[in-house]
Amino acid sequence: MSSNRNLEPSSLSLNDLPWQIKYNNNRCTLCGQCTAVCPVKAIELKVFQKRTIKASIKKDAVPSNQYDSFYAIQQRTDVENACIGCAMCTMACPNDAIAPVKNPGLDRMKFHINQQGVPRRRGGRRNASGSILDRIKFTRISMLTDPALDAGRHEFEMRTLLGRVLSPRENMKRLREKGWIPPVRQIYPLIIGGMSFGALSPNMWEGLQMGVAYLNEEMGMPVRMCTGEGGCPPRLLRSRFLKYVILQVASGYFGWDEIIHAIPHMKEDPCAIEIKYGQGAKPGDGGLLMWHKVNKLIAAIRGVPQGVSLPSPPTHQTQYSIEESVAKMILSMSMAWGFRVPVYPKISASSTSLAVLNNLTRNDYASGLAIDGEDGGTGAAYSVSMDHMGHPIASCIRDNYLNLTKIGKQNEIPIFAGGGIGKNGNIAANAASLIMLGASGVQIGKYLMQAAAGCVGTEEDRCNVCNLGICPKGITSQDPRLYRRLDPENVAQRIVDLFVSFDTELKKIVAPLGRSTSLPIGMSDALGIDDHAIAKRLNINYVV
């Protein structure tokens, strides 16, 4: 940096940056790997000067001064090249000479990230590590009371129902009268939430799908995956694997023409149709695929021009009320598959979620409700939406479930919870908490990316560049130079690992509760928390 430059308001020093590169020149072998892998070019080789002064007060000695130059890695301080903390440099460094470290002081870059008047956009997460779900304990442990079960030896029915379950009386009546009975799927309660082909790289998406197929066909676990809003590759639509897929339709209707063309050729019905109305990470804002990621392949699958940013409208453009949405969308989608496929909406958690649920309870065609909480992830959103908009999932699920119990329909319409499940790694405990608060199943996204593909994101604003297509792990990039770092087979293997281990953990939680024949949906007497206000709000035990 020139010493003679003028300071500008956004002139930052290393001290101002959220991530600082700690570099050990003694260990560095100048191999260039760190600068070659850095996704944002935050580091570069730099020539430095070193001055040596030889001085002596001896008689005849002439003090001298000498400049030498040396080479080292330097971190850049401009906003667009600020280190994102992904630590790919550390990953690449053969000598452990370099690593990003979170600045313990104030992140002053925050105040300058709106250059040219564009507010910060990012991918990833809310970057708030607190989690009510992590604080919930399972306090009802059966020992000499209920049959104490052993997760290792007992058989557990870890399945949930996706679809409208009629009341026994109504069901019998329709059977007698040969009436229509809504489709119901028995699925695994841990569902891969909607992440689009486009938001994710082809290798990531294929790895996820392959892992899901393996779990179904080799492990007998009926795991389902939602496509997200970005269409579905034509081959998958025409394969038997489609039955493991929940097709998502959202306000952009991307890729739906391909789906329509495939319907006559489908070997299997899809598991379900999810109508996306909102996303927990950015409620009230539509999907956003930034132009960096819209390459030839994505453009083809979505039916759009290459290299353009693809925002989805915040609302479905032809629907103006809950009633209209329910009537139009659920009916249209049900009709497309002859009323054989469950259709349900997905909304962002909101203080108005109850209104949606109440509406759905009055409509037989509504197969469920998915609610996405504020801790949900996203491929791209304005930071302000991610940081300040949204509703926590726990109380929203609880309110909705209790409302169902009030009207006696808690066994009839399933609620699925999403957003922040496993955000700190405690996936089974978080899922079990939500199930016991009333969810019939949970949807996960970020956890998968971390566990199955090595996403480096944390709740500390680390990496978060999913929107830019420069994902250093190749998870959310459409650049073959990046996504080919990720092998779909390895992703599939990790998906299998994580579902199998989740299954064991979930059993370790439900076994001591004495539940083996069905999921403990709404079994809130098993839950406790060490905060009186939360306990009261969630209607669970206060334990200290």
Partner 1 sequence: MKTSDYIYISGKKENKRIPSRVLEEIILKQIKSGNRKLEIDAFGQHGIGGRLWEATDKTIIRILGHSGQRTGSMGNANTTIEVMGPASDDIGWLNAGAQIIVHGNASNGAMNGAAQGKVYIGGNIGARAMTMTKHNPRFKPPELWVLGTAGDYFGEFMAGGIAVICGQNSQAKNSILGHRPLVGMVGGTVFVRGEVNGFSQKDAKIIPMSDKNWKWLVTNLEKFLNKIKKPELMTTFSDRSAWKILTSKTPQEKANGSEKASISWFKTQVWDKELGQGGLIGDLQEVEKGSIPLIARAKLRRYIPVWEQGKYISPCQAGCPTGIPVQDRWAMVRADNIDEAIGMGLSYTPFPATVCGYLCPGPCMASCTRNLASMPPIDVRLLGRAGKDLPPPLPNNKKSKKKIAVIGAGPGGISAAWHLTLKGHTATLFETSNTIGGKISSAIPDSRIPGQTLDTELRRVKDLIADIRLEQEIDHTKFSKIKKDYDFTIIAAGAKKPISLPIKGIEMTIPANDFLETAKQNPPKIGKKIVIIGAGNVGCDVATEAHRLGARQITLIDVQKPAAFGQEKEDAQKCGAKFKWPVFTKQITSKGVLLQGGELLSADTIVISIGDIPDLGFIKDTLTMENGFITVDKNGCTSDPRIFALGDVVGPGLITDAIGGGKQTALYIDQIIAGKKPDQAKPLPVINQNRICLEYYDPRNQADGLSDCGADCASCGNCRDCGICVAICPEAAIERKTLAESEFEYLVDPDRCIGCGFCKGACPCGIWDLVPNTPL
Residues that bind partner 1 (CB under 8 A): 2-5, 30-33, 35-37, 41, 44-49, 65, 67, 69, 71, 88, 91-92, 152-153, 155, 202, 205-206, 209-211, 213-214, 217-219, 233-236, 239-241, 295, 297, 300-301, 479-482, 484-490, 492-493, 496
Closer residue to partner 1 (CB): 356 or 511 = 511
Backbone angles phi, psi at 492, to 5 degrees: -60, -45
In whole angstroms, the minimum distance from the beta carbon of 296 to partner 1 comes to: 8
Alpha carbon dihedral 418, 420, 423, 428, in 10-degree steps, equals -40
For residues 29 and 318, which CB has a smaller minimum distance to partner 1 in the complex? 29
Return the number of the residue (55 or 355) whose C-beta is nearest partner 1.
55
Please report how close the Cβ of residue 51 comes to partner 1 at its closest, in angstroms.
9
Tally of CB atoms within 10 A around 80 = 10
Give 294-308 as a DSSP string.
Answer: --HHHHHHHTS-TT-
The CA distance from 291 to 293, in Å, is 5
Quick one: 68 or 177, whose CB is closer to partner 1?
Answer: 68
Q: Whose Cβ is closer to partner 1: residue 265's or residue 362's?
A: 265
Least distance to partner 1, CB of residue 172, Å: 32
Q: Please state the closest distance from residue 294 (CB atom) to partner 1, in A.
A: 12
- The continuous run of DSSP H or E covering 481 comes out as helix 480-483
Q: Tell the smallest beta-carbon distance from residue 140 to partner 1 (Å).
A: 25
Give the burial class of 180: count Cβ atoms within 10 A of its Cβ; 0-12 exposed, 13-18 middle, 19 or more buried.
exposed
CB 268 within 8 A of CB 242: yes
Specify whether the CB–CB gap between 460 and 127 falls below 8 A. yes
List 185's β-bridge partners, or say none.
162
The distance of closest approach from Cβ of residue 2 to partner 1 in the complex, given in angstroms and rounded to an integer, is: 4
Smallest distance, partner 1 to C-beta of residue 505, A: 16
- Between 105 and 307, CB nearer to partner 1: 307
CA 447/CA 452 separation, integer angstroms: 8
Q: Exposed, middle or buried: residue 348 (CB in 10 Å: 0-12, 13-18, 19+)?
A: buried
Query: Residue 25 has which token pair?
Result: 């020149």
Contact 258, 297 (CB under 8 A): no
Shortest Å, Cβ 189 to partner 1? 22
Q: What angle do CA 447, 448, 454 make, to 5 degrees?
A: 90
Q: How many alpha carbons lie under 13 Å from residue 57 in its C-beta half-sphere?
A: 0
- Residue 211 or 392 having the CB closest to partner 1: 211
Of 26 and 66, which CB lies nearer to partner 1 in the complex structure? 66
